[in-house]
Structure 1
């Protein structure tokens, strides 16, 4: 099965990526489980059980160091989900107007990259999505797979097929071309993925809904309030029945001035009802990035995405918090 990392880039990914990536569902009691081949544990420089420091990078050498530096040179912001003596999981994210991209990879202690996902999308201009995809692919692939293997992947992209597998001397890749989105995932032959932290808050959905109703939210599939004449603020969560919340989304849309007030209010309402060891760190990160720009980062073992869409007459912002998933 292709490498999948989630919780997504615009519109929730993951996907494809599919990267997030975090997987969200609107109903049902079960959510797909992360199913890596082999789990790894060890003394942390960033503990897999907690995710390490907020939005920070641990040590990296060799292929991982080279890939990180090249991606950062292209404007990607990188952070580690965890980084231990046994290996690391790193994500690099970029927002450039309507183009959204990410390059997520796992690597062993000597920096050898053993799993990778590259994704780029642009609903307005597919050529810009491809340019960003090619640049990120080369940043990771030239040292990791080799230039000839990178060209093989690029040639496969050029065929325009929706989905195909591409073999290489490094391993097998799954390639997706969805018109406005390009995605590549794969794992190194003979290597196993690292198990990712299985995150949840202690607060259940029922507890969150009760707290939001007390603040005059109307709750159906999500909890919402009207904002201004035509806008809204919304809080959505997912959890298995009776268990702690696994993913959380806060959003606001409407008149730009209304959104500036409504989104911080939704953040305060949601975090005010949440309980768990990571709540303070997550809230601090979200509040520190309340500048109308888009971001993605790993914080306290969670994947956090802040997506802003600002226009003169209409604005929308969405904050999603989910645990990362990774399949090989």
Structure 2
């Protein structure tokens, strides 16, 4: 359930901010147009229970970052990757201005059969102990029944829960009783997909008729580069996927990495928009051979490194990709 109206993007040099009329936690009507808006600022710090949850998940090896903060609270996420980019876990959560967690979205995914389900258990236990300890056993039982039930929605003493097992992984979402979700700010890049495609075409890329999917090559055609963008109509880009892959017999990870780094810098520079210089720096700083996810400059950034070639070299980093997006809409069980 999404609650909130009046969201409009305001671009200010130096950071992405949005103006929005926010429905309060008391469940009252939406603010009138004349009401003073809250300002949502990218990033921030967690306090109270939200900080306790962040610290607990960081202690388990997840990397945490704040997506946005407003007067009413904020939204954050903690992420981890394993199995050479094949398995991921994330805990997205919202909290009020006192730091109390009011909503959760947990998800684990793996390209390996059964791994997503197993990966969820320790993450769920950590979250349960901090946020809804009284419901811990009830939620754990519901999750353990997923192979037989696929999904279930139920109430606990903390709030309402929904558990699901599907093609996208194993998920647990929860909403604290009597609390309403914060409105999710929407940001976009300065360039539209079509304008980005025009600029990439001038640099030698080949783009499809829809002007959203562009491809190129490196290492005399042995490696492939790609840029996929999406937006709403002619508006700015809201999702951008940039990648470089080389699975040839004599593939060189260092060359692929360098090509990817340059492509990210050039593409983000063309796309333009608040927070993207921070995204570029974060991406460059996290090219350590592992996959990472974070909120950077208001954007969700997923940097995924994949290993293996078509000729059996399982230890060669053959693919580097980054997805920069506004993130999915915040959804929790309706009350």
Q: What band does the TM-score fall into relative to the shorter chain?
A: 0.7 to 0.9
Report the alpha carbon displacement of residue 78 of structure 1 after superposing the two structures with TM.
0.5
Please list, as runs of the form range in 1=range in 2, the aligned pairs for 1:178-327 lying within 5 A after superposition. Answer: 178=166, 181-220=169-208, 221-228=212-219, 229-254=221-246, 255-257=251-253, 258-311=255-308, 312=313, 315-324=318-327, 325-327=329-331
Is it true that 1:152 corresponds to 2:138 in the alignment? yes
Report the alpha carbon displacement of residue 314 of structure 1 after superposing the two structures with TM.
6.4
Q: List per-residue Cα deviations over 1:275-322 (Å, max 9, x = no partner).
A: 223232222222222222211111111111101112335611210111
For the residue of structure 1 that corresponds to 2:137, the secondary structure is helix
Note if contact 1:172-1:186 (Cα within 8 Å) is conserved in structure 2. Answer: yes
For the residue of structure 1 that corresponds to 2:268, the secondary structure is helix
- Quote the residue 1:29 is aligned against: none
- Quote the residue 1:74 is aligned against: 60
Report the alpha carbon displacement of residue 64 of structure 1 after superposing the two structures with TM.
1.8
Report which of the two has the higher share of strand. 2
Report the alpha carbon displacement of residue 174 of structure 1 after superposing the two structures with TM.
1.5
For the residue of structure 1 that corresponds to 2:79, the secondary structure is strand
Q: For this pair of structures, how many residues does the alignment match?
A: 288
Q: List per-residue Cα deviations over 1:13-44 (Å, max 9, x = no partner).
A: xxxxxxxxxxxxxxxxxxxxxxx965899999
| 1:142 corresponds to which of 129, 142, 150 | 129
Report the alpha carbon displacement of residue 245 of structure 1 after superposing the two structures with TM.
1.0
Note if contact 1:292-1:310 (Cα within 8 Å) is conserved in structure 2. Answer: no
4+ residue runs of structure 1 moved beyond 6 angstroms? 39-44
Structure 1 regions of 5+ residues with no counterpart? 4-35
Which protein is bigger by CA-based radius of gyration? Answer: 2
In structure 2, how many angstroms separate the alpha carbons of the residues matched to 1:95 and 1:42? Answer: 41
In structure 2, how many angstroms separate the alpha carbons of the residues matched to 1:176 and 1:188? Answer: 18
In structure 2, how many angstroms separate the alpha carbons of the residues matched to 1:86 and 1:266? Answer: 38
Report the alpha carbon displacement of residue 262 of structure 1 after superposing the two structures with TM.
2.5
For the residue of structure 2 that corresponds to 1:184, the secondary structure is strand
- Quote the residue 2:112 is aligned against: 124
Please list, as runs of the form range in 1=range in 2, the aligned pairs for 1:23-102 lying within 5 A after superposition. Answer: 48=40, 50-52=41-43, 58-61=45-48, 63-97=49-83, 98-102=86-90
- TM-score normalized by structure 1? 0.79
Note if contact 1:297-1:305 (Cα within 8 Å) is conserved in structure 2. Answer: yes
Note if contact 1:2-1:173 (Cα within 8 Å) is conserved in structure 2. Answer: no
For the residue of structure 2 that corresponds to 1:193, the secondary structure is coil
For the residue of structure 2 that corresponds to 1:246, the secondary structure is strand
Report the alpha carbon displacement of residue 143 of structure 1 after superposing the two structures with TM.
3.2
Which region of structure 1 is more displaced relative to structure 2, 64-73 or 209-218?
A: 64-73
Note if contact 2:213-2:226 (Cα within 8 Å) is conserved in structure 1. Answer: yes
Judged with a 3 Å threshold, the aligned counterparts in structure 2 of structure 1 residues 235 and 75 are, in CA distance, closer, same or farther, namely same
In structure 2, how many angstroms separate the alpha carbons of the residues matched to 1:144 and 1:43? Answer: 29
Q: List per-residue Cα deviations over 1:159-180 (Å, max 9, x = no partner).
A: 2122221221222212111278
Which has the higher relative contact order, 1 or 2, with Cα contacts under 8 A spaced 6 or more apart? 1
In structure 2, how many angstroms separate the alpha carbons of the residues matched to 1:210 and 1:145? Answer: 51
In structure 1, how many angstroms separate the alpha carbons of the residues matched to 2:252 and 2:179? Answer: 48
- TM-score normalized by structure 2? 0.78
In structure 2, how many angstroms separate the alpha carbons of the residues matched to 1:256 and 1:60? Answer: 45
